[in-house]
Amino acid sequence: MIISIASGKGGTGKTTVATNLALSIGHDVQLLDCDVEEPNAHLFINPVVEETETIFLPVPEVDDNKCTYCGKCGDICQFKAIVVVGETVLVFEELCHSCGGCMEVCPEDAITEKGRELGIIQKGHRNSIEFIHGKLRVGEAMSPPLIDKVRSFTSSDKLTIIDAPPGTSCPVIMSMKNADFILLVTEPTPFGLHDLKLAVGAVKMLDIPCGLVINRSDLGDSKVKEYAEKENLPVLMEIPFDRKIAEAYSRGDMIVEVMPEFKSRFLELYQAIKDIVE
């Protein structure tokens, strides 16, 4: 089973839920941190890193000796990553989506591909928890291909927990698609409710079962619960605003280790998800 943990808003507690859920289950589980622009699950999991791989994105390279400047490569590119100006071919590598279309339509076979560094992927473990995350190269804007690479390590014989990026844009969709269940994490504030609505809209488009965790549940008001009831969105867990939890988070400690009573609550959350999926 693949559980993607997401939210419309940053700072709601996705990583807290993802890491503590993985640690509570403890075996036959892998945690994929797909927030490649700012991964932080490793700060809590503290994995033993066993392998680091640099990921490259294929981009076009033009042989001026073969090119006749016909412009077909520029015509097919939807993102204007390659443009013919007079007798010059300009390649904008940062805009390239690596579809290979320009190479296919070139009548002179003047276009080949070279690698542009996208970021790195690190793989490791904490006890029996398999851990994989990506780190996007500083200044890079194209995160979905790196997220896709992280997700390519999904194991079919383990529970996969995905810590998705915040928001509702392409990186989040890449982290949620083909999941068996999406667990949305929010907080009972106007901002939390606003962005939860956006996230629910995205999940509906993907037609994937989902549920809700309300973090800092005893703050704010009841509007999040009212919205969840209206949308038939089951509230599967509530985490109170507790100083011990905040202190543990600030130290990089796990809630289930500092407050062992929470382990059973996270296991109940996992069982509730299984019941919905099955």
Which pLDDT tens digit goes with each residue over 194-242? 999 999 999 999 999 999 999 998 887 889 999 999 999 999 999 999 8
Whether 81 maps to a domain, the answer reads yes
Does pLDDT of 154 surpass 90?
yes
Whether 38 maps to a domain, the answer reads yes
What total number of domains does the chain contain? 2
Whether 9 maps to a domain, the answer reads yes
Instruction: Tell me what pLDDT residue 278 has.
Output: 85
What domain range includes position 98? 64-109
Whether 114 maps to a domain, the answer reads no
Which contiguous run of DSSP H or E holds residue 270? helix 261-277
Does pLDDT of 123 surpass 90?
yes
Instruction: Tell me what pLDDT residue 220 has.
Output: 79
Structure-model confidence comparison of residues 163 and 220, the more confident one:
163
The amino acid that residue 262 corresponds to is: F
Question: Does 133 lie in the same domain as 7?
Answer: yes
**Distance (Å, rounded) from C-alpha 59 to C-alpha 138?**
18
Instruction: Tell me what pLDDT residue 144 has.
Output: 93
Question: Does 144 lie in the same domain as 10?
Answer: yes
Question: Does 96 lie in the same domain as 132?
Answer: no
Give the C-alpha distances (Å, rounded to integers) separating 10 from 15, 134, 187, 195, 240. 10, 18, 10, 9, 18
List, in order, residues 6 or more apart from 261 with CB less than 8 Å away: none
Q: What angle do CA 30, 125, 161 make, to 5 degrees?
A: 20
Q: What is the mean pLDDT of residues 58-72?
A: 96
Instruction: Tell me what pLDDT residue 141 has.
Output: 86
Q: What angle do CA 186, 190, 192 make, to 5 degrees?
A: 20
Mean of the per-residue pLDDT values for the chain?
94
List, in order, residues 6 or more apart from 230 with CB less than 8 Å away: none
Task: Label residue 11 by pLDDT band (50, 70, 90).
Answer: confident
CATH number for the domain that contains residue 92:
3.30.70.20
Question: Which residues are 31's β-sheet partners?
Answer: 131, 161
The amino acid that residue 264 corresponds to is: S
Task: Label residue 153 by pLDDT band (50, 70, 90).
Answer: very high
Instruction: Tell me what pLDDT residue 218 has.
Output: 87
